[in-house]
Amino acid sequence: MSLPILGIESSCDETAAAVVRGGRDILSSVVASQDDVHRKYGGVVPELASREHLRRIVPVVREALERAGLGFQDLAAVGATRGPGLIGSLLVGYTYAQTLASALGKPLVPVNHLEGHVHAVFLEAQQKKNGAARGDLPELPAVCLIVSGGHTVLYDVRSAIDATPAVEGYPAFRCTYERIGATRDDAAGEAYDKVAKLLALGYPGGPVMDQLAAHGNPQAVAFTSPNTRGNRLDFSFSGIKTAVLRYIRQNPAFEKEIAARTEVLRRGARKAADLLPLSTPATLDLVASFQRAVVRDLVQRTLAAAEERSARCVLVSGGVAANSELRKTFEGECGRRALSVFFPSRPLSTDNAAMIAAAAYPHLLAGELAKEGVDAEANLPLA
């Protein structure tokens, strides 16, 4: 049973389509980023995002099919993100998917974007297994940290595999989810983007700050870990953003270099290499210290969750999962605890549609299809 599924993702600012066979083999994955559109605002502008999705959805889907070498009629189903996300953005992708599935007479599988991020980890683990012996797949129960520009949330992920027969010897990763912690204010990626805006380091801020941090001293500026009273598995990142703002205001020397970087960004500079020569040790130390504090907080709370839930492994997904220090710290800390940790590759960490098609697969097998008249939902809960 090959079951190729067309995945469609449009929850935020990436228009994406992919074809994944059997929940495992990525035949194509196309992502049209809108970074250029939102860059000058330093964050996603919802109205512009939906307009861009409308412009791009048809060519992106066409390209995904072309690259997969398949026609619409070859598809077993369409899987599309129904939520959570920006409602205008979601509606473009989900309504398109509803119309397409109905015109083709194919099943439509509604997918929760956050379940997609969890499946990005399973999908990645299965990529490495192609042609090789299996044995290094994530074992459940797991604790999954989803950390991106829109989300910072911890799930206890358990197997519901007994309910679904394995296909071609591969598990369908049919899971149940329990939300055990979440940010009370900003998402971690949002904090990166806001600090990058304060320091004139471009948009999105994470990738550039990740590289600049390597040139600074992470112990230079002390940030206190937020106290999330009531649930130690909750997060809070608005305090550190405010602390950075205060630090910049107290050090007027920052002004000159911020102005210089603003100017090179205006002229089109994007890379860390362009910004590094315009950044003093004080800025690099601030960036490194910010990153150290955010990473330490994410890792400590996730490991506390893993211990509390007796997890057999840790899964980390979402745009910030691409962060090199986050990966290194998780690997070191999990290694010390004989706990395995799994990340998606960078292209599967950030928003993409391959993870949506993969997440749709177990639902398709279980016959969990879209209901007539049920539309996209901005606050769709996973658990």
Q: Does 319 bind ligand KG4 (CB under 6 A)?
A: yes
Residues 155, 178: contact at Cβ < 8 Å? yes
Residue 314: contacted member of ligand KG4, Zn ion, none (CB under 5 to 8 Å, by partner type)? none
CA-to-CA distance for 16 and 352, rounded, in angstroms? 6
Residues 346, 317: contact at Cβ < 8 Å? no
Measured from the CB atom, is 89 or 126 closer to ligand KG4? 89
Residues 149, 321: contact at Cβ < 8 Å? no
Q: Rule CB under 6 A: choose which of 351, 354, 355, 357 binds ligand KG4.
A: 351
Measured from the CB atom, is 210 or 351 closer to Zn ion? 351
Residue 290: contacted member of ligand KG4, Zn ion, none (CB under 5 to 8 Å, by partner type)? none
Tokens at residue 54, please?
């409308």
Q: Rule CB under 5 A: choose which of 108, 323, 351, 356 binds Zn ion.
A: 351
Which of 140, 143, 142 lies closest to 171, judged by CA? 140
Hey, which residues between 27 and 86 contact Zn ion (CB under 5 A)? none
The residue to which tokens 């595999």 are assigned: 161
Minimum distance from CB of 148 to Zn ion (Å)?
5
Q: Rule CB under 6 A: choose which of 12, 61, 180, 244 binds ligand KG4.
A: 12
Residue 189: contacted member of Zn ion, ligand KG4, none (CB under 5 to 8 Å, by partner type)? ligand KG4
Dihedrals phi, psi of 270, to nearest 5 degrees: -130, -30
Q: Rule CB under 5 A: choose which of 15, 81, 126, 148 binds Zn ion.
A: 148
Q: Exposed (0-12), middle (13-18) or buried (19+): which is 61, by Cβ within 10 Å?
A: buried
Measured from the CB atom, is 209 or 306 closer to ligand KG4? 209
How many Å separate Cα 187 from the centre of its chain? Answer: 11
How many Å separate Cα 166 from the centre of its chain? Answer: 27
Minimum distance from CB of 9 to Zn ion (Å)?
8
Q: Which amino acid is at 306?
A: A
Q: Exposed (0-12), middle (13-18) or buried (19+): which is 340, by Cβ within 10 Å?
A: middle
Minimum distance from CB of 224 to ligand KG4 (Å)?
21
Q: Does 204 bind ligand KG4 (CB under 6 A)?
A: yes
CA-to-CA distance for 152 and 190, rounded, in angstroms? 10
Residues 136, 342: contact at Cβ < 8 Å? no
Q: Does 202 bind ligand KG4 (CB under 6 A)?
A: no
Measured from the CB atom, is 28 or 352 closer to Zn ion? 352
Q: Rule CB under 6 A: choose which of 15, 50, 148, 279 binds ligand KG4.
A: 148
Which residues lie near ligand KG4 (CB under 6 A)?
12, 148-150, 189, 192-193, 204-207, 210, 318-320, 322-323, 350-351
Which residues lie near Zn ion (CB under 5 A)?
148, 351
